[in-house]
Amino acid sequence: MHKQTIKTSTNEYDVIIGKDLLSNLESYLPHNYTNILIVTDETVSKLYLNTVKEALHHKNNIGISVVPSGEATKSMEYFYQLQTAAIENHLDRKSLIIALGGGMIGDLAGFVAATFMRGIDFVQIPTTILAHDSSVGGKVAINHPKGKNLIGNFYPPVAVIYDVTTLHSLPDREIRSGYAEVIKHGLISDTTFFKDVVNTDLTIPLNSDITVEHLRKGIAVKAKVVEEDEKEKNIRKFLNFGHTLGHAIESELGYGEITHGEAVAIGMLFALRVSEGIFDQSLPYEKLFEWMQHNHYPLSIKWPTIDNLIDKMKLDKKSENAVVQMVLLTEVGKPAVQNIDDATLRTYLEKFIRELG
């Protein structure tokens, strides 16, 4: 079991990573809560809800809300439904919301916790690899039809309890999706970490010890950045590596057509090409491309028009005054934020789309 303490401007909390943590859940909660609302989705509830309920069985008041799986649930409708559930389960300011699931559940339940009675405690129990990213940094949000994560808060959990045993139930595309963010944490921080991850074969079953190690390192990279820049004024933008195009692809293809990480992986390839062009540097484009190919990441997608992509890239929260900002690399481990004018962006996009075929 690894424990890492994350400091934020307002509090600090532990991320606990290990095997078989769920059955001892109560011992990892930072306080003794009377009223708890567990928020989970239909997929995860079938797998782990009973274990969690069992682990909390002598608590007085446990409410449960199961919402549909998938990004579409991060909506105003379910946000409101969960607020109602919190009221109906008599949650008060000393109560707890448990987010049991992947990034969608963490974002949605976290935003409910951030706003219910102006903020109550919440604990994340991530059940995906991707959630190693979203569960650190305190970003919670729901989507607006016009853009992802447009309505939200910075609101850290009081604990993250990461039971890697749950990752064995992940379908292949969820493993790919999660590992894209692990790769990202390698690319923006450290060549050794990047090389280590890019030598991992995702087509064979995950090795728990290696997974714990990758998650631990990924979380450490993320934690270091967000501790320095919680509110995304400057260096936190580095975490957006691959996301400017990635978000645009996700949004244009429709959430669900391609996973978040798969879209980000394509976005990282693009960011590497742009970096090579702008900084006249050699970067591990081929290495990443081959790893993605070997592990069945989608590479030939149904591309939206370039106009639509650029429009969506401008809607990205990181952009200001309608100029696209991208995170590039001057070398592996050295990210830099760069404004890219529309004409340059168009040229790079045309070439990149031709190249991927």
d(CA 104, CA 109): 8
Q: Which two tokens stand for residue 209?
A: 């010890």
Q: How far, CA to CA in Å, does 204 sit from each of 40, 140, 172, 175?
A: 28, 33, 10, 11
The single residue among 7, 150, 209, 296 that binds a copy of itself, judged by CB under 8 A, is 150
Q: Taking the C-alpha atoms of 312, 318, 322 and 325 in order, what is their torsion angle to the nearest 10 degrees? A: -90
Q: Looking at beta carbons only, is 7 or 90 nearer to a copy of itself?
A: 90
Q: Are 105 and 44 in contact (CB under 8 A)?
A: yes
Say whether 181 counts as a known binding-site residue: yes
Which one is catalytic: 35, 89, 240, 295? 240
Distance CA 35, CA 96 (A): 6
Q: Answer for the pair 173, 259: CB distance below 8 angstroms, yes or no.
A: yes
Structure-block tokens of residue 251:
């949004």
Least distance to a copy of itself, CB of residue 120, Å: 10
- Which of 217, 222, 237, 312 is labelled catalytic? 222
Instruction: Give me the residue label for tokens 């995170």.
Output: 327
Please give the Cα distance from 63 to 43 (Å, whole number).
18
Count, residues near a copy of itself per rule CB under 8 A: 35
The interface with a copy of itself within residues 28-67 (CB under 8 A) comprises 34
**Binds a copy of itself (CB under 8 A): choice among 14, 63, 64, 154:** 154
CA angle 269/275/279 to nearest 5° reads 160
181 in active site: yes
**Alpha-carbon span 161 to 25, nearest angstrom:** 8
Binding to a copy of itself by CB under 8 A, coded x per residue (else -) over 316-345, reads -x-xxxx-----------------------
Active site residue 287: no
Q: How far apart are the first and last CA of the chain?
A: 44
Query: Per-residue x/- mask for a copy of itself, residues 233 to 262, rule CB under 8 A?
Result: ------------------------------
Binding piece for a copy of itself, criterion CB under 8 A, among 101-109, 138-146, 168-176, 203-211 = 138-146
Q: Which stretch binds a copy of itself (CB under 8 A): 79-87, 102-110, 186-194, 289-297?
A: 79-87
Q: Which one of 132, 185, 217, 260 is the catalytic residue?
A: 260
Does 77 carry a binding-site annotation? no
- Is 73 within any annotated ligand binding site? yes
The whole-angstrom separation of Cα 304 and Cα 267 is 14
* C-alpha–C-alpha distance, residues 286 and 294, integer Å: 12
Nearest Cα to Cα of residue 242 among 200, 201, 292: 292
Set 132, 139, 217, 273: catalytic member: 139
Write down the least CB distance from residue 154 to a copy of itself, Å.
Answer: 6
200 is annotated as contributing to ligand binding: no
Cβ distance to a copy of itself smaller for residue 148 or 260:
148
Told to judge if 236 belongs to the known catalytic residues of this protein, a careful annotator would answer yes
Residues of this chain that interact with a copy of itself (CB under 8 A) are 9-10, 34, 76, 80, 83-84, 87, 90, 92-94, 114-119, 139, 141, 144, 146-147, 149-154, 231, 317, 319-322
What amino acid positions are annotated as catalytic residues?
118, 139, 181, 222, 232, 236, 240, 243, 247, 260
